A and B are shown apart, each in its own frame.
Chain A
Amino acid sequence: MGWMDAYRLGRERRFLLYRALRRRHQLSAVKNRARKIRRRDILAFSTLRNERIRLPYFLDYYREMGVNHFLFVDNDSTDGSREYLAGQEDCSVWTTQASYRQSRFGMDWINWLLMRYGHEHWCLTVDPDEFFVYPFCDTRPMAALCDWLDACEIRSFSAMLLDMYPKGPLTAQPYHEGQDPLEIASWFDAGNYTINRNWKHGNLWIQGGPRMRIFFDEDPWKAPALNKIPLVRWNRHYAYSSSTHSLLPRGLNLVFDEWGGEKASGALLHTKFLDTFTAKAEEELERGQHYGNSREYIAYHETLREDPDLWCKWSEKYINWRQLEILGLMSKGNWA
């Protein structure tokens, strides 16, 4: 990398941090329990809007995994999400009515919270419909993973977004509060992913899965990115640059091996496709606050009217992380 590139990326990173600093005024604390955060705690960060029904299971899942404190940005929920989270002893909640799109889809807010509270912590940035799995997650807590990454001097850990979907029409099985969404959305696409390398930021750009197969089969370049780096040993100089797909400085994006080996990686099980999705897609389309002029939601809207079945004969039913490892969607790397 030439000095000019280094300078440009540095400038981009400082600009992101500046934006985060400016946008912090949009957040007002509903309940700030950040004083409870201890030195080696694992933190989870999330932006949400009207996700009340998913929250109980979300919190249980990550508590069980060993997340010590949750920091939420509530973007003007009207369904009681904010009040529910404020009542949880291990959650801190901020709220804002500002535009999701203008805060770079919530990343400015999250970058600020990371800068303020995430410094020197392992930080997991996920949406309420994303469930993190990593090698040995059934027998080892997240602290084991973080300690191992520390010992190997690895600062960031990738987890590809794996879209989960139910068999049959989306509306056929209603989700109820506290239920494991993977009981309904338990299927995924095992091997139709494409990868491109982004040489500017050094990250991979992964596309594929049911969303590309069904919603973007005519225009695959517009299919959503699935590469994610949700777990980072944060430093206040870091910044997420494009959702959690890539970070700056760009060394953090080098979560893959270029010389034939496999680094350790996990997966984010994305349980977007539940019965709640149809209503959500309609609402989001109306608000027009999503990436690329909400083209994703426009595509959903067109197809969803037919209540499609994302399931196909070759869909794979989710069992556990070992299955994902064997299928080559994630890897143990040299963690044994």
Chain B
Amino acid sequence: MSVGVVMLVHTALRRAEQVARHWSAAGCPVVIHCDANVPDHRFRPFREALQDVPGIRFSTRHSCSWGTWGIVAATQDACELLLRENAEVRHVFLSSGSCLPLRPVEELKTYLAARPRTDFIESATTSDVPWTVGGLDEERFTLRFPFSWRTQRRAFDWYVNFQRRVGFRRRIPAGIVPHLGSQWWCLTRQTLSAILEDPQRREYDRYFRKVWIPDESYFQTLARKYSAHIESRSLTLSKFDFQGKPHIFYDDHLQLLRRSDCFVARKIWPHANRLYRAFLTDPEGAMQRREPNPGKIDRIFSKASERRTRGRSGLYMQSRFPREGWEGGLTGAQYSVFQGFSELFEDFEGWLSRTTGCRVHGQLFGPGDAEFAGGQPVINGALTAKAALRDHAPRAFLTNLIWNTRGERQAFQYSPRASQAVAWDMAKDGNAQISVISGAWAVPLYLSNRNFGVLRKEAARLQRIESEFIDALRSPWARARVNIWTMAEFVEAPMEPLQIVVDEMGMRTARRLSEVPRMRNFAGFGQFLQNLKNQGMHPHLMGDFPVDDGDPAPRKDPDGKQRRPYLIKK
């Protein structure tokens, strides 16, 4: 009643020797297959070093390269040898030279002895597994693969395409249903010998010789034919990255591996001295007898794969610089942009930051230096307010700002006077919330004391810029959450839009605004607009402002009192 171990070895022979001794010392017969590509001058000392151990045998050497039949042939030979020479073996454990037993071998023996008829082999049909690399799932069983994927990629791809075009399909031998799974399994003598002594084995072997990556499908498929009880999982902890390459364990994984309760792990970095020392020489076996539970390791590695394929959105750095459209969101967090508000209200920034609790900056994109909240010259991440540095890379300025302050919502003012370099970037950014009071840029013009000719020119310029920005916001590519009011609309009932904007920011749960910002006094603004019209410049972004003596806001009530902005009661 014992476990036999088949080891497929091709590098790090010193470590393989150590592990073979470990298995053997626990009373497991071991058969080692060493890749025929290993040069003799390295193989011979390895073999001689193990001569003093009685239970270790070497099987016929095959040449094994990734994804080829050699690995299956090697496994077959080694298993035959193992079963022939060791009649007492009940389970055969297939492992590699870079596998490391994590729990005492005794525990594995007990575990398997308690499940004498169970085959531990991961085995699923092609339609059920998402992890095939290269887009070949079912086709790996119906096409031919004479070229190496690793070294003859072009020929490989061409031949696959050629077969698809021609409509070539191989016949799958009768009686088997292709299954896939991890290469590392543990089968019972019954199942394994049935596979090896199958009367149709020649036919199967001939078929699988041309299947792609037969080492992940030969035993997985045939075990389905014979096994009485398959437990579709591998006893070997082995994780693959997004390219299908195994993750490697290092010294700093020691605690993780200890807590995983798995029997065997691969692949171990050959120089991970601490791991080998801890698991091969600790007689204690600090772990309790529990079911394997690799959950934590799974999480770490799947996080790594996600980082490699998706990355942290909003981050631009030396090893993540997505092409346009592949950023997964231009920025990393939500932020709000206000255009026209600070023109209309006094101390809008102060009010907004009191109301919502987020960090509210002034005009970040000019004109002039960026106005960071609190008038700081430098903020998080040592991002400076200098106009020259900002205009050097405005887009990076925006993404850096949002990335550096992640965890705290940012809001800032924008205007047609500012650099428009990021206008489209913000419009296309799903994280942006953009609120515009169109035409409000005219208020500072009206309040300024400049010659009308200059004002008229400036008004025309700003109007053109703002309408381009609004076009961007309304374009089909825009993904930002956009609210646009004309100034006339806004001034008519200012609280409702403010309430909407603050609600959308979702910062405070309070349902209604308790404090209102003070609107500037711009009596006579309607007349100002009319003057612009009279001069031949048509200000249309403000909406319909009446030209009467006063203006809609602050409007006087019939009794002569100035009307206050009112709150909408829900």
Q: Chain A 184-214 against B: per-residue CB contact (8 Å), 1 yes, 0 no?
A: 0000011111111100000010110010110
* B310 in contact (CB, < 8 A): yes
Stretch of B31-39, B323-331, B490-498 on the interface side: B323-331
Question: What A residues does B304 contact at CB under 8 A?
Answer: 332-336
| CB within 8 Å of B: which A138-159 residues | 139-141, 143-144, 147-148, 151-152, 158-159
Partner-binding segment picked from B242-250, B441-449, B456-464:
B242-250
**How distant is A335 from chain B, measured CB to nearest CB, in Å?**
7
Instruction: Contacts A206-B318, A328-B317 given; indicate if A260 touches B252 (C-beta within 8 A).
Output: no
Instruction: Tell whether, in the assembled complex, residue B303 and residue A191 are in contact, meaning their CB atoms are under 8 Å apart.
Output: no
Does B136 reach chain A (CB closer than 8 Å)?
no
Stretch at the interface among B56-64, B379-387, B414-422: B379-387
| A191 with B400: CB separation less than 8 A | yes
Q: Is A42 interfacial (CB 8 A cutoff)?
A: no
Q: In the complex the two chains form, what is the Cα distance from A91 to B461 in whole Å? A: 66
* Residue A111 at the chain B interface, CB threshold 8 Å: no
Q: Among B116-124, B175-183, B189-197, B388-396, which stretch is in contact with chain A?
A: B388-396
**For residue B392, which residues in chain A have a CB less than 8 angstroms away from its CB?**
194, 207, 220-221
A315 interface contact, C-beta 8 A? yes
Known A-B contacts A144-B250, A263-B308; the reply to A256 vs B389 at CB < 8 A is no
| B380 A191 Cβ-Cβ under 8 A | yes
Q: A194-B393, A210-B382, A256-B319 are in contact. Are A220 and B326 (CB under 8 A)?
A: no
Residue in A189, A194, A197, A227 whose beta carbon sits within 8 Å of that of B381 in the complex: A189
Q: Measured between alpha carbons, how far is A264 from B320 in the docked complex, in Å?
A: 9
Contact check, A262 vs B311: say whether CB atoms are below 8 A apart.
yes
Closest chain A residue, CB of each to CB of B396:
A194
A144 to B380, CA, bound (A): 35
A151 to B321, CA, bound (A): 24
Residues 389-426 of chain B: 1 if any A CB is under 8 Å from the residue's CB, otherwise 0?
10011001100100110000000000000000000000
Residues of A within 8 A of B396 (CB): 193-195
**Contact: A189 with B271, CB < 8 Å?**
no
The answer to whether B384 touches A140, judged by C-beta atoms less than 8 angstroms apart, is no
In angstroms, Cα B318 to Cα A313, docked, is: 25
Given A312-B378, A313-B378, the answer on whether A265 and B271 have CB atoms closer than 8 Å is no
- In the complex with contacts A139-B251, A220-B392, A256-B307 CB distance below 8 A: no
Q: Which residues of B contact A265 (CB under 8 A)?
A: 317-319
The answer to whether B437 has its CB under 8 Å from any CB of chain A is no
A314 contacts B by Cβ under 8 Å: yes
A159, closest chain B residue (CB): B318
A270 to chain B, nearest CB (A): 14
The answer to whether A334 and B382 have CB atoms under 8 Å apart is no
Q: A310-336: contact bitstring with B at CB < 8 Å (1 yes, 0 no)?
A: 001111100000000000111111111
Contact at A334–B318, with CB atoms within 8 Å?
no
Q: How large is the interface on A (under 10, 10 to 19, 20 to 34, 35 or more residues)?
A: 35 or more
- Whether B320 lies near A140 (C-beta < 8 A) is no
| Residue contact A144 to B269, C-beta cutoff 8 Å | yes
> Which of B321, B388, B397 lies in contact with A256, CB distance below 8 A?
B321
Residues of A within 8 A of B317 (CB): 160, 193, 195, 256, 262, 265, 328-331
Determine whether the beta carbon of A328 is less than 8 Å from that of B382.
Answer: no
Taking the complex as formed, is A258 at the interface, i.e. its CB lies under 8 A from any CB of chain B? yes
A174 CA to B237 CA, complexed, in Å? 52
The reply to whether the CB of A2 lies closer than 8 angstroms to some CB of chain B is no
Q: Is B305 an interface residue (CB 8 A)?
A: yes
In the assembled complex, how far is the CB of residue B44 from the closest CB belonging to chain A, in whole angstroms?
A: 19
Those of B469-527 within 8 Å (CB) of chain A? none
Q: Are A336 and B247 in contact (CB under 8 A)?
A: yes
Q: Give the nearest-CB partner of A331 in chain B.
A: B319
Contacts of B248 in A (CB 8 A): 147-148, 151
Determine whether A257 belongs to the interface, using a CB cutoff of 8 Å to chain B: yes
A119 and B130 alpha carbons, distance in the complex (Å): 40
Given A143-B271, A191-B380, check contact A328 B242 (CB 8 Å): no
B286 lies within 8 A of chain A by Cβ: no
- Cα A330 to Cα B319 with chains together (Å): 7
Residues in A with CB closer than 8 Å to B245 are 151-152
Contacts of B172 in A (CB 8 A): none
| Cβ–Cβ contact A328 & B312, under 8 A | yes
Contact of A191 among B242, B307, B381 (CB under 8 A): B381
Asked if residues B307 and A262 are in contact (CB atoms below 8 Å), the reply is yes
Contact A336–B300 (Cβ < 8 Å): yes
- Closest CB in chain A relative to B387 CB, distance in Å: 10
Interface assignment of B301: CB less than 8 Å from any CB of chain A: yes
Q: Chain A residues with Cβ under 8 A from B310's Cβ?
A: 260-261
Contacting residue for B318 out of A158, A191, A196, A258, CB 8 A: A158
B545 to chain A, nearest CB (A): 42
- Cα(A193)–Cα(B403), bound, Å: 12
A-side residues, CB < 8 A to B, are: 136, 139-141, 143-144, 147-148, 151-152, 158-160, 189-197, 204, 206-207, 210, 212-213, 217-221, 227, 255-265, 312-316, 328-336
**Closest 9 A/B residue pairs (Cβ):** A191-B381, A334-B308, A265-B319, A336-B304, A194-B393, A220-B392, A189-B382, A139-B252, A191-B404
14 new A-B contacts at CB < 8 Å, known A148-B248, A330-B319, A334-B242: A139-B250, A139-B252, A140-B252, A160-B317, A191-B380, A213-B384, A260-B309, A260-B328, A261-B307, A262-B320, A263-B320, A264-B319, A329-B318, A336-B304
